[in-house]
Homo-oligomer: A and B are copies of this chain.
């Protein structure tokens, strides 16, 4: 704040560099979280993958939990962006399908961290992270509205509690079936997504 007073509109070159480095760190953390989970991911590994020293990383994030939480917040932001970009004129169930499809594509691309275990230290950190919780609530509200609308127009099973549908969509974003099928090598990524998306909405049984 030593130069112009109207700082927030135009970040300095140094600030841009700082933010770009943080984005690189968080992106790497996100990838490793998706690849091996929070417990198996080491801070040394993140730092080495980014190409900086571990102590430098700790100047940006005070703990491993905070680093992982930043990656999860970034994921929530991206999810909100996806929700905002969904075609408004679609049927509600197709909006839900579109979001589920995106999440599955993201998982196949190695960008979808799996859900933290119930008593993980990461989960505790997330439950104390306002930025994460607010975004999670906002996402749940948007999806909840679509779910209710889809049940009202009869396309989504009205007998299911809306919260069960919501949780199912979250869970399918990290469905291990996608990785299993990919490693079997029998289908293309697009076919895998279609398969899992189909079984999610239409079930295993014949229609």
Contacts and interface: CB of A to CB of B under 8 A. Distances in A.
Given A168-B177, A171-B176, A180-B167, A160 B204 contact: yes
A67 B204 CA distance: 35
A161 interface: yes
Interface stretch (A4-12, A36-44, A78-86): A36-44
A34 B204 CA distance: 26
Chain B CB within 10 Å, residue with most, of A119, A160, A180, A181:
A180
Given A203-B203, A204-B160, A176 B39 contact: no
Interface string A166-204: 011011001111011101101100000001101111111
A161 B186 contact: yes
A119 B206 contact: no
Given A163-B181, A167-B177, A199 B203 contact: yes
Contacts of A164: 177, 181, 195-196, 199
A113 to B, nearest CB: 11
